[in-house]
Amino acid sequence: MRHHLLTMTATIALMAGAASAQEVRVYNWSDYIDEALLAKFEAETGIKLIYDVFDSNEVLETKLLAGGSGYDVVVPSGTFLQRQIQAGAFQELDKSKLPNLENMWDVVSSRTEQYDPANAYSINYMWGTTGIGVNVGKVTEILGEDAPIDSLSLIFDPANAEKLAACGIMMLDAPAEMIPAALQFLGEDPNSHDPEVIAKTEPVFMAIRPHILKFHSSEYINALANGDICVALGWSGDILQARDRAAEADNGIEIAYNAAKEGAQMWFDQMAIPVDAPNVEGAHAFLNFIMDAENMAAASNYVYYANGNLASQEFLVEDVIGDPAIYPSEEALNNLFTTTPWDAGVQRTVTRLWTKIKSGT
Amino acid sequence: MRRFILIAVPFIWLMALFLVPFAIVLKISLSDIALSIPPYTPQLDLTEGWAGIKAFFAELDFENYVFLTQDQLYWKAYVSSLQIALISTILTLLVGYPIAYGMAQAPDEWRATLLLLVILPFWTSFLIRVYSWMGILSNEGFLNQFLLWTGLISTPLVILNTNTAVYIGIVYTYLPFMILPIYAALEKMDGSLLEAAEDLGCSRLTAFWLVTIPLSKSGIIAGCFLVFIPALGEFVIPSLLGGSDTLMIGKVLWEEFFSNRDWPVASAVAVILLLILIIPIVLFQRNEQKQREMDQ
């Protein structure tokens, strides 16, 4: 086996050498791919792959807007993608070089069109929902067997939040996800861009503010898994990861994920090519490689996120395709909403509101 | 000629690493936000020659600084940062002084080892050390488990995600910067001065107060500045250990830059932070100079 590995590595090295200076630089979210795919890409195309990771849209956006990022493929989320397209950060895809586009799933691509009209600049990589993760044991112990673990009222109803504060509540530090959730709880349009409507969420957050341990976009994975907190409003894949970590640790903690029954936000991570990409040809080769049904399935099977590739579904393991938390039923899918980006003025109002909610100032 | 080169080296260093970046930040702080690459306007267009340069300067203004005065968030963040930096500096001094004193009193053959032990934590990445504090201070963390086990407390203490955790983080991280200058000052001290003081009727405590403390003053001042200045702009410790209500200018700066994508306002915040920092830095310089003159 070891010998086999050595030969393989040598072959890859030789092939990379033969392809001379061809290399493609990909900038993706951390823990978001099966790394075996990276070696497979190099072996198949002979292009050297340089793979870097980031952990927030804001960091990616700052690099793109500063210009000269040096990346050939980047993976922003939908709302960020839309604004970056407007800023002129991406180039249109050459669809003649992407034969695997036929594998894509219209259920997803019809939704991503609102960020990227005609999907001219991007392809979908993964998508998911923003919902509620709970430590089932602790929450039912406090609120009883009929605790509303699939409802936004679990967190936004101050009576519930007050009781759950004892075991800990965390929320994403991402106003673009949390304010739509609060609007949904109020029965308002979650995609509202009206500062007056958005302002209605302030009292909702202020009422539960004393009961929230922290606003943070990644700490809740560990905190849920080891029992430091019992409720988190966060991203589907992250909470499922916490569920699996708790199961692996065998610490008696059972984590459950639910997209809120009132309606939950659906988000998309899109692959796109920066306008100043050094290797446009290689970038297309990478996108086409990722859209291959088996490759995309391998990525989803590894990270437990749904993808926008219909042809890949037959290669998905039952754990992924059969889990309604990852692939919601048709009915549940209709209950998901999407949002569009705020303009600079509304964004400033929202950030200011969010700071006020977090710090009381 | 040799003299010129000797002066030129630090001068070029200062130009390249401080003045030029500062000029760039200052320029951005006078611009306006835009949805483009880079995300502010105006851009200097040299192809237009003089007209371009003139048009460029005509568009710069102090609007962003005016904006900072209109929202109480900013001055509250500055004041809160000053307060956190000041309290942590005092705490670091209270913890660091006895350690430095103990090291200076230790037998000669031990000192090198003790010094090494103070520096040893730097061998691990700063980020990892702050992360490990999260493991110690969390509700299910080592500290709470230990206290529960001893029976001193019956419910876990909430320390992580509060200002207390920020103070612990800052004191821990910057402690060596406090210990080393104080130790350097104490080590130089002539022990016979204390004997003389005691011979003249001082109690050991008064001798410490009247002789040791004044003689280590330069070390105390140097240590305090080395802690206060970086603590004021600290971002990593409050964002990892602090709660959502921990208000520090480093976090506000991050939000302006990343969440609002407003580079001009972020730059204005940074320029003001720098101006606030210049005051203690100048005081520090004065103190150093006075010290040098006294030594001569």
- CA gap A307, B72 in Å, rounded: 45
A60/B contact by beta carbon, under 8 A? no
Question: Nearest 10 degrees: CA dihedral of B17, B20, B25, B26?
Answer: 130
Reported as a single tens digit per residue, the pLDDT across A87-136 is 999 999 999 999 999 999 999 999 999 999 999 999 999 999 999 999 99
Contact A58 B38 (CB under 8 A): no
The confidence score (pLDDT) of residue A21 equals 57
Interface of B with A in 30-49 (CB under 8 A): 33, 35-39
Are A206 and A344 in the same domain?
Answer: yes
What does the buried/exposed string (b/e) look like for B232-248 if buried means 16 or more CB atoms within 10 Å of the residue's CB? Answer: bbbeebbbbbbbbbbbb
The yes-or-no verdict on residue A221 having pLDDT over 70 is yes
Contact A359 B244 (CB under 8 A): yes
Interface of A with B in 153-192 (CB under 8 A): 168, 173, 175
The total number of structural domains in chain A stands at 2
Number of neighbours of residue A189 by Cβ within 10 angstroms: 14
Q: In chain A, pLDDT over 90 holds for what percent of residues? A: 75
Q: Which two tokens stand for residue B44?
A: 């200097």
Closest alpha carbon to A140 in A125, A154, A119: A154
**What is the full DSSP assignment across B232-257?**
HT--HHHHHHS-TT---HHHHHHIII
Q: Domain-by-domain residue ranges, chain B?
A: 71-295
Could you list the residue range(s) of the whole structural domain that residue A345 is in? 130-266+338-359
Are A236 and A136 in the same domain?
Answer: yes
The confidence score (pLDDT) of residue B294 equals 77
HEC string of B57-118 equals HHHCCCHHHHHHHHCHHHHHHHHHHHHHHHHHHHHHHHHHHHHHHHHHHCCHHHHHHHHHHH
Nearest residue of chain B to residue A226 (CA atoms): B140
Are A308 and A161 in the same domain?
Answer: no
Average pLDDT for chain A? 90
What average pLDDT does this structure show over A187-210?
Answer: 95
Contact B246 A361 (CB under 8 A): no
Instruction: Write the residue in B37, B161, B246 that is nearest to A213 by C-beta.
Output: B161
Are A157 and A251 in the same domain?
Answer: yes
- For residue B86, CA distances in Å to A268, A302, B60, B90, B160 come to 45, 48, 36, 6, 21
Contact A65 B39 (CB under 8 A): yes
User: Could you tell me if residue A46 is inside a domain?
Assistant: yes
The yes-or-no verdict on residue A1 having pLDDT over 60 is no
User: Could you tell me if residue A352 is inside a domain?
Assistant: yes
**Each residue's pLDDT tens digit in chain B (296 positions)?**
778 888 888 889 888 888 999 999 999 999 988 888 888 888 877 787 788 888 888 888 898 999 999 988 999 999 999 999 999 999 999 999 999 999 999 999 999 999 999 999 989 999 999 999 999 998 888 999 999 999 898 888 889 889 999 999 999 999 999 999 999 999 988 888 888 988 898 888 898 899 999 999 989 999 999 999 999 989 999 989 988 778 899 989 988 888 888 899 999 999 999 888 888 788 878 877 887 787 76
- For residue B270, CA distances in Å to A359, B71, B228, B233, B265 come to 20, 16, 17, 9, 9
The confidence score (pLDDT) of residue A18 equals 43
Q: Which residues pair with A126 in a beta bridge?
A: A269, A307
User: Could you tell me if residue A333 is inside a domain?
Assistant: no
Are A151 and A229 in the same domain?
Answer: yes
User: Could you tell me if residue A7 is inside a domain?
Assistant: yes
- Whether residue A158 is preceded by a cis peptide bond, meaning omega within 30 degrees of 0, is no
Instruction: Give A6's pLDDT tier (boundaries 50, 70, 90).
Output: very low
Are A155 and A205 in the same domain?
Answer: yes
Reported as a single tens digit per residue, the pLDDT across A316-346 is 999 899 999 899 988 888 999 999 989 888 9
Number of neighbours of residue A20 by Cβ within 10 angstroms: 9
CA angle A91, A94, A95 (to 5 degrees): 130
What does the buried/exposed string (b/e) look like for A143-161 if buried means 16 or more CB atoms within 10 Å of the residue's CB? Answer: beeebbbbbbebbbbeebb
Question: Nearest 10 degrees: CA dihedral of A317, A320, A324, A326?
Answer: -160
Are A135 and A195 in the same domain?
Answer: yes
Where residue A9 sits, what CATH number does that domain have?
3.40.190.10
- CA gap B108, B114 in Å, rounded: 10
Are A353 and A206 in the same domain?
Answer: yes
Are A110 and A240 in the same domain?
Answer: no
CATH hierarchy code of domain B71-295: 1.10.3720.10
Number of neighbours of residue B141 by Cβ within 10 angstroms: 19
Listed in sequence order, the residues at least 6 apart from B174 whose beta carbon sits closer than 8 Å to its beta carbon are: B88, B92, B226, B227, B230, B231
Are A186 and A304 in the same domain?
Answer: no
Reported as a single tens digit per residue, the pLDDT across A29-69 is 988 899 999 999 999 999 999 999 987 888 899 999 988 89
Q: Which of B24, B28, B31, B35 to mutate to test the interface with A (most CBs of A within 10 A)?
A: B35
Q: Say if residues A123 and A93 touch (Cβ distance below 8 Å).
A: yes
The yes-or-no verdict on residue A2 having pLDDT over 60 is no
Q: Which amino acid is at A220?
A: Y
Residues of chain A found within 8 Å of residue B261, distances taken between Cβ atoms: 61-62, 65, 344, 347
- Phi/psi for B34 (5° steps) reads -150, 155
Number of neighbours of residue B126 by Cβ within 10 angstroms: 12
Residues of chain B found within 8 Å of residue A215, distances taken between Cβ atoms: 244
Are A318 and A345 in the same domain?
Answer: no
Q: Which of B139, B244, B263 to mutate to test the interface with A (most CBs of A within 10 A)?
A: B244
Closest alpha carbon to B41 in B245, B262, B252, B271: B262
Q: Which residues pair with A54 in a beta bridge?
A: A29
Q: Which residues pair with A313 in a beta bridge?
A: none
ipTM above 0.85, yes or no: no
| Token pair 């102090």 in the structure block, residue | B62
User: Could you tell me if residue A66 is inside a domain?
Assistant: yes
Q: Which two tokens stand for residue A340?
A: 């569009």
Instruction: Write the residue in B77, B245, B261 that is nearest to A358 by C-beta.
Output: B245
Are A6 and A45 in the same domain?
Answer: yes
